Amino acid sequence: MNLPIPYPDPMPLPAPVWLLRTLLLLTFFLHVLFMNCLLGGTAVALVCTMRRKSSEFSVRLAGDLGRLLPSVFAFTITLGVAPLLFLQVMYGQFLYASSILIGVPWLAIIGMVVLAYYGVYFFSMKGHEPNGKTTAVLALVVLLLASIAFVYSNNFTLMLAPERWLDLYHSNASGWNLNWSEPSLLPRYLHFVLGALAVSGLGLVVMGLREREDGYRQWLIEQGSLLFTGTTLLNVGVGFWFLVKLPGPVRLAFVGGNGFATALLGVGMLLPLAAIAHLIMAKANKSPKRQLAIGVSCGVLTVAAMVVMRDVLRNLALAPCFSPNRLPVAPQWGVILLFVLFFIAGLATLYYMLRKAAVATRMRVAATQKLQ
Amino acid sequence: MNYPVWQLGFPGGLLIAAVAVLHVFISHFAIGGGAYLVLTERRAYSHNDSELLGYVRLHSKFFVLLTVVLGAVTGVGIWFTIGLVSPEATSSLIHTFVWGWAIEWVLFFVEIAAALIYAYHWDTLDRQTHLIVGWIYFVAAWASLVVINGIITYMLTPGRWLETGNFWDGFFNPTYWPSLFIRTAMAVGLAGIFGLVTAMWEPSPLRERVVRWAGWWLVLGIASLLPLSRWYFHDFPSYSRAYFSGMYTAVHHALLGGAVCTGVALALALVFALIRPKLMNPVVVAVLLVAGISVMATGEYLREFSRYPYVINSYIYANDIRVGQVESIVANGVAKASPWVEGSADDPHAYGRELFVIECGSCHSVAGYRAMRKITRGWDAKFASEILLHLPAVRETMPPFVGDEHDRAALGRYLASLMPATPSGANEKELGQQVFAIHCALCHSVGGQRRPLDLKGTDPEGIAGMLGTLGDINPDMPPFTGTDAEGHALAVYLSDPRQ
């Protein structure tokens, strides 16, 4: 069958594939962490505002999340820009084609992000005293974020299925499409959304670890561990469903056909189990800090493994027709060096500002407590 | 050609314009506004003015809500939109400048972090550190303009890049510096306008103090636009400088509108901000906002228009077809070059429509914006397919038709089908006038500015004779395809065009 795959850009890649891929995966990993905290965090905040009458800690958590979420939103977007950039360099002809086919929902993401963002700011201003209005706004935000995630799942599965493009284009060229006929669409989407909830559970554990007040700290850790454990166990099942729905050759690669892919899947299943084990054991531990930290680290490493696995899946799915490794390369080393310098300077500046802000906040909190 | 075409029912360029104008309006404010914040804060400290400090604190919250949310997200929005509308050009830009964008991303990151820390740490950070964070914000924001400006100006004037393909040749191109200065001036002016917006929330007499202070920013920014525009325009490619000579009504109107808005903004700023700040009120601020966005939109429109027929000058045409591809598509036909067309076998009309979508759809719609129905009214298929051979001669802003003979005939048939009309008139002169409208008015005017035809007093028979040899007069003229009677009527009209 002749697939309508656009030819790649005639210009060579401006950097070696390994560098582009490293940056793609690194920045995407960071993006996913923040995105998960955003999606899961707003869902948690929604539940908190619904429980505002029965749980004092819920009200408190809603207030804390209200302070955090606008920044989490900002960094979700900022960290999302970089992977999208590197993805376009390597896989542009697939991504542009699939984006155009679902043009309307794809562009609607921008409007949905703006709405959700302002919703989060609204919650941030009212989060310390939640009411019905905040609950309604948060419900809308969660719905918008979940819809954005769904459109992403559609595009990133459709870009791997050029055999479906012509039918979609000829049935609707105005971009009113979604990738409904993709068997792995729903399990993939659910897998990622449940993963987001799980990671936000880890976020609660981290918030607990940084909390000074005993009761609230324990509650945060408990709720976070519970959220992580529950969603992760559920996700094991969804993960199998996802695996079963993958195209035959790709699935086979993950169950023995390809050593690296299979090992990754193994690691990706063991790490969350290790995380759960540590979170449970920490409950019985008198000074659980270390154990919790290990549990959280295992959870974060799971995300890293999943990010690499997702990339392996993409390359396996495209293998019959494309690999970025076959593209000509002409690295712009001078500009790459300049980027590295900017990157280091940017990190240093960021460190300087965050440190100053953190120290100043701590001093202010201490001063306030002294006054009280 | 290489990609599917997103068929919106209107040219995708309009969508880009809508998202882009909103974005540049906010993003230029995000740059100038950064300097406005720190300098206002410093002013408040040095004058020991706690009221002014209260104002700048409030302004910083407004600033973050507008720039970090709507400004940043619409920036990503432009990227989404250009990928959907001009994927080929977007891919090319990304391949050429990915590391420029990567640097831009670092700056964006620092910018966002600094903006949030600045706006939410008024009570925690000491004054000195708070000011430093504000300066970090401004430097990162302006530096992101320094980077993106190279990519935007490259599209209009790629300069030596066309020969060398070198990143820096494309980046520091002929319009880089004037554009950087003009955008910086715009940023300063917009900082003033938005400073006035939040000033309206303050009570008197603080309000007057802020109005005067913001007014200086506005006047400084707007007043520098005129000399900077002249410099910028001077470095435009020579072919596009000709577009400004009055031959395009849209350009003429845009220039006029831009000049009026600039003048209005300057006059309002002088009167209501500097001379009588007490009189400044929300209505005037609203007018200034509208004037500001209009100036910005005009500038962007003229820059984009000047790029025609290209989206990347001399490299990719406005309809996303690469200049380097033209030869092979002309030789082999569109159906071979594009996997997205269904071909002509079953339905030639549908094939013509597909060609229209690919080749014309980025600038023209059938019945809406730049409607083809108005242009092709009364065309016959032969005339339409002949016109397609001469598009760059018809309008300097149009890319050539790309395709083989079969494609050209199919698109010609489709265009002719859009608005069939047979010329008719109460007398020969009226008929001639209609024939002129159909066959000549696309390129010529009678008594107008655009390629005027002055044949008044010429023998009609002589003119009718010339209609058979138009190609000899000018190889860019398509043959006259009307009937003999229509030809004669046209000749009568041209020999005495008075009503």
Please state, as a whole number, how many other Cβ atoms lie within 10 Å of the Cβ of residue B310: 22
Out of A75-79, A109-113, B264-268, B468-472, which region has the weakest mean confidence (pLDDT)?
A: B468-472
pLDDT band for position B365 (cuts 50, 70, 90): very high
Tell me the residues of chain B between 361 and 420 that have a Cβ less than 8 Å away from chain A. none
Q: Which residue in B359, B348, B363, B372 sits closest to B326, CA to CA?
A: B359
For an interface test with B, the pick among A167, A342, A361 (most B C-beta atoms closer than 10 Å) comes out as A342
Residue type, B108: F
Is there a contact between A89 and B83 if contact means CB atoms under 8 Å apart? Answer: no
User: Nearest by CB to A85, which of B91, B92, B102?
Assistant: B102
Q: Are strands B316-317 and B310-312 parallel, antiparallel or unpaired?
A: antiparallel
B112–A contact, CB cutoff 8 A: yes
Mean pLDDT of B377-397: 94
Probe site for chain A from B14, B70, B88, B98 (most A CB atoms < 10 A): B98
Query: B428-495: same fold as B325-418?
Result: yes
Please list, in sequence order, all residues whose beta carbon lies within 8 angstroms of the beta carbon of residue A215, skipping any fewer than 6 positions away: A57
Evaluate whether the domain defined by B12-317 bears CATH number 1.20.1630: yes
Judge whether B100 is closer than 8 Å to chain A, CB to CB: yes
* Alpha carbon separation from B446 to B341, B359, B436, B438 (Å, rounded): 41, 30, 9, 14
Band of pLDDT at residue B499, cut at 50, 70 and 90: low
Q: Identify whether the C-beta of residue B76 lies closer than 8 Å to the C-beta of residue A81.
A: yes
Q: Which residues of B touch A89 (CB under 8 A)?
A: 94-95, 98
A238: three-class secondary structure by DSSP: helix
Q: Which residues contact B78 (CB under 8 A, 6 or more apart)?
A: B16, B19, B20, B23
Cβ atoms of B226 and B255 within 8 Å: the answer is: no
Question: Which residue among B6, B76, B100 places its CB closest to the CB of A77?
Answer: B76
Distance to chain B for A103, nearest Cα, Å: 7
A162 secondary structure, DSSP code? G
Q: B interface mutation test: which of A145, A332, A338, A362 has the most B CBs within 10 A?
A: A332
**Percentage of residues of chain B with pLDDT beyond 90:** 85
Q: Which residues of B touch A351 (CB under 8 A)?
A: none
Closest CA to A128 of A70, A68, A71, A64: A64
Q: Is residue B325 within 8 angstroms of chain A, CB to CB?
A: no
- The single-letter code of the amino acid at A338 is L
Q: Do B77 and A174 touch (CB under 8 A)?
A: no
Q: How many C-beta neighbours within 10 Å does residue B190 have? A: 31
pLDDT of residue B483: 92
Task: Determine whether the interchain pair A97/B133 forms a contact, defined as Cβ–Cβ distance below 8 Å.
Answer: no
Q: What is the DSSP string of B405-467?
A: HHHHHHHHHHHHHHS------SSHHHHHHHHHHHHTTTT-BSSSSSSB---TTS-HHHHHHHG
Q: Are the C-beta atoms of A129 and B36 separated by less than 8 Å?
A: no
* B325-418: CATH number: 1.10.760
What value, to the nearest 5°, has the Cα angle with vertex B473 and ends B472 and B477?
85
How confident is the model over B329-358, as pLDDT tens digits? 999 999 999 999 987 667 888 999 999 999
pLDDT of B346: 75
Contact criterion met (CB < 8 Å) for B117 and A360: no
Under an 8 A CB cutoff, do A97 and B3 touch? Answer: yes
pLDDT at residue B452 in the model: 87
Task: Give the residue with greater pLDDT, B445 vs A317.
Answer: A317
Mean pLDDT of B464-475: 89
Cβ pair B84:A166 closer than 8 A: no
Task: Assign residue B444 a region (left: φ > 0; alpha: ψ between -120 and 50; beta: otherwise).
Answer: beta
- How far is it, in rounded angstroms, from Cα A154 to Cα A151? 5
**pLDDT digit string (tens) for A123-133?**
999 877 888 99
Q: What is the pLDDT of residue A171?
A: 93
Structure tokens at A38: 């955003």
Q: How far is A102 from chain B (nearest CA, A)?
A: 9
Q: Give CA–CA dist B150/B97, Å, rounded.
A: 9
Sign of CA dihedral B179, B181, B185, B191: positive
- Contact residues, chain B, for A74 at CB < 8 Å: 68, 72, 112, 116
Q: Report CB contact under 8 Å: B94, A88.
A: yes
* pLDDT value of position B496: 87
- Amino acid at residue number B256: L
Q: How far is CA B305 from CA B2, B3, B78, B396, in A?
A: 24, 24, 18, 11
State whether A121 and B69 contact (CB < 8 Å): yes
CATH topology of domain B428-495: Cytochrome Bc1 Complex; Chain D, domain 2 (1.10.760)
Task: Measure A283 CA to nearest chain B CA, in Å.
Answer: 36
Which of A345, B135, A369 has the alpha carbon at shortest distance from B127? Answer: B135
- DSSP string covering B181-250, please? HHHHHHHHHHHHHHHHHHHTTSPTTHHHHHHHHHHHHHHHHHHHHHHHHHHHHHTS-HHHHGGGGTT-HH
- The label of the residue with tokens 């410093």 reads B42
Cα–Cα distance for residue pair A137/A144, rounded to 1 Å: 10
Average pLDDT value for chain B: 94
- Which chain B residue has its CA at the smallest distance from A4's CA? B339
- Is the Cβ of B324 closer than 8 Å to some Cβ of chain A? yes
Instruction: Count other C-beta atoms under 10 Å from residue A357's C-beta.
Output: 21
* Phi-psi group of B397: left, alpha or beta (phi > 0 → left; psi -120 to 50 → alpha; rest → beta): alpha
The residue type found at B442 is: L
Nearest to B339 by CA among A166, A86, A98: A166
What is the pLDDT averaged over residues B353-382? 94
In three-state form (DSSP H/G/I as H, E/B as E, the rest C), the secondary structure along B80-124 is HHHHHHCHHHHHHHHHHHHHHHHHHHHHHHHHHHHHHHHHHCCCC
Determine the angle formed by the axes of helices A289-318 and A214-245, rounding to 10 degrees. Answer: 20
- A237 or B345, higher pLDDT: A237
Q: Which of A336, A337, A331 minimizes the C-alpha distance to A16?
A: A331
Q: Scanning every residue of chain A, which has its alpha carbon at the shortest distance from the alpha carbon of B128?
A: A356
Q: How many residues does chain B have?
A: 499
Burial tier of A248 (Cβ tally within 10 Å: 0-12, 13-18, 19+): exposed
Q: What are phi and psi of B420, to 5 degrees?
A: -65, 140
Q: What is the C-alpha to C-alpha distance for residues B50 and B44, in angstroms, rounded to an integer?
A: 7
pLDDT digits (tens, 9 = 90+) for B185-230: 999 999 999 999 999 999 999 999 999 999 999 999 999 998 999 9
Task: Give whole-number Cα distances, B246 to A46, A251, B284, B299, in Å.
Answer: 59, 64, 32, 17
Task: Summarize the confidence of residues B145-161 as an average pLDDT.
Answer: 97
A81, A121, A163: best mutation site toward chain B, by most B Cβ within 10 Å? A81
Query: Where are chain B's structural domains?
Result: 12-317, 325-418, 428-495
Mutate to test the interface with B, among A75, A176, A335, A343 (most CBs of B within 10 A): A335
Q: Which of A5, A89, A114 sits opposite B95 (nearest CB)?
A: A89
What crossing angle do the helices spanning B127-156 and B87-120 adopt, rounded to 10°? 170
Tokens of A2: 């002749």
Q: Are B173 and B157 in contact (CB under 8 A)?
A: yes
Provide, as residue numbers in chain A, all residues whose Cβ is less than 8 Å from the Cβ of B100: 335
Q: Which residues of A touch B116 (CB under 8 A)?
A: 70-71, 74
> What is the mean predicted confidence (pLDDT) over A5-10?
95
Contacts of B125 in chain A (CB under 8 A): 356-357, 360
Is A194:A235 a contact under the CB 8 Å cutoff? yes
Q: Are B273 and B214 in contact (CB under 8 A)?
A: yes
Q: Do residues A309 and A265 lie in contact, with contact meaning Cβ atoms separated by under 8 Å?
A: yes
Minimum CA–CA partner of A8 in chain B = B91
What DSSP character marks residue B70? I
Task: Tell me which chain B residues have a C-beta less than 8 angstroms from the C-beta of A75.
Answer: 112-113
> Taking each helix axis from N to C terminus, what angle separates B484-495 and B428-439, rounded to the nearest 10 degrees?
100
CA distance B132 to chain A (A): 9
CB contact under 8 A, A335 and B73: no
Q: Using an 8 Å Cβ cutoff, are B79 and B105 in contact?
A: no
Q: Please state, in angstroms and rounded to a whole number, the distance separating the CA atoms of residues B11 and B370.
A: 9
Closest CA to B59 of B39, B78, B88, B79: B39
- Per-chain mean pLDDT for chain A: 96
What was the ipTM of the complex prediction?
A: 0.95
Mutating which of A1, A163, A353, A365 best tests the B interface, going by the most B Cβ atoms within 10 A? A353
pLDDT digits (tens, 9 = 90+) for B110-124: 999 999 999 999 999
Residues of A in contact with B89 (CB under 8 A): none
Average pLDDT over residues B81-96: 97
Instruction: Return all residues near B202 (Cβ < 8 A) that are at least 6 apart.
Output: B51, B55, B210
Q: What is the CA angle A177-A180-A181, rounded to 5?
A: 120
Report whether the peptide linkage leading into residue B420 is cis, meaning its omega lies within 30 degrees of zero.
no
pLDDT at residue A1 above 60?
no
In terms of C-beta density within 10 A (0-12 exposed, 13-18 middle, 19 or more buried), how is residue A228 classed? buried
What average pLDDT does this structure show over A308-334?
97
Closest-CA residue to B59 (of B40, B75, B44): B40
User: In the A/B pair of chains, how many CB contacts fall below 8 A?
Assistant: 200
Which chain A residues touch B168 with a CB distance below 8 Å?
334
pLDDT in tens, A160-210: 999 999 999 999 999 999 999 999 999 999 999 999 999 999 999 999 999
Yes or no: say if B114 and B125 are a contact pair by the CB < 8 Å rule: no
The CA–CA distances, whole Å, from A239 to A186, A187, A300, A334 equal 11, 7, 17, 43
